[in-house]
């Protein structure tokens, strides 16, 4: 384990907050994209089928 000294909470909090925000953004992007793709495929199948 890397030694962070007296500022360990500061550093860990900064990394934690940033990574959580990024993860939320990526998750939202991913699920929205998956949903749009699924809905579109359903619609196109309905039209063709």
Partner 1 sequence: MSIWEYANPVKFMRSSGAALPWIVGAAVICTVGGVAWGFLTPEDYRQGSTVKIVFLHVPAAMMAINIWVMMLVASLIWLIRRHHVSALAAKAAAPIGAVMTLIALATGAIWGQPMWGTWWEWDPRLTSFLILLLFYIGYIALWSAVEDADSAADLTGVLCLVGSVFALLSRYAVLFWNQGLHQGASLSVAPGERMSAIYRYPLYLSMLGFFLLFLALLLIRTRTEIRRRRLAALQAKEARA
List the one residue out of 37, 36, 18, 38 whose CA is nearest residue 26.
18
Concatenated DSSP letters of 19-40? HHHHHHHHHHHHHHHHHHHHHH
Question: Under rule CB under 8 A, which residues in 17-46 are in contact with partner 1?
Answer: 17-18, 21-22, 24-26, 28-30, 32-33, 36-37, 39-40, 43-44, 46
Q: Does 49 bind partner 1 (CB under 8 A)?
A: no
Give the whole-angstrom CA distance, residue 46 versus residue 24: 33
Q: Does 8 bind partner 1 (CB under 8 A)?
A: yes
- Report the interface residues with partner 1, using CB under 8 A: 2-8, 10-11, 13-15, 17-18, 21-22, 24-26, 28-30, 32-33, 36-37, 39-40, 43-44, 46-47
């Amino acid at each position: 384990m890397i030694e962070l000294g007296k500022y360990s909470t500061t550093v860990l909090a900064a990394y934690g907050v940033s990574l959580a925000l990024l993860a939320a953004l990526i998750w939202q992007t991913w699920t929205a994209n998956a949903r749009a793709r699924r809905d579109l495929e359903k619609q196109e199948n309905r039209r063709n089928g």
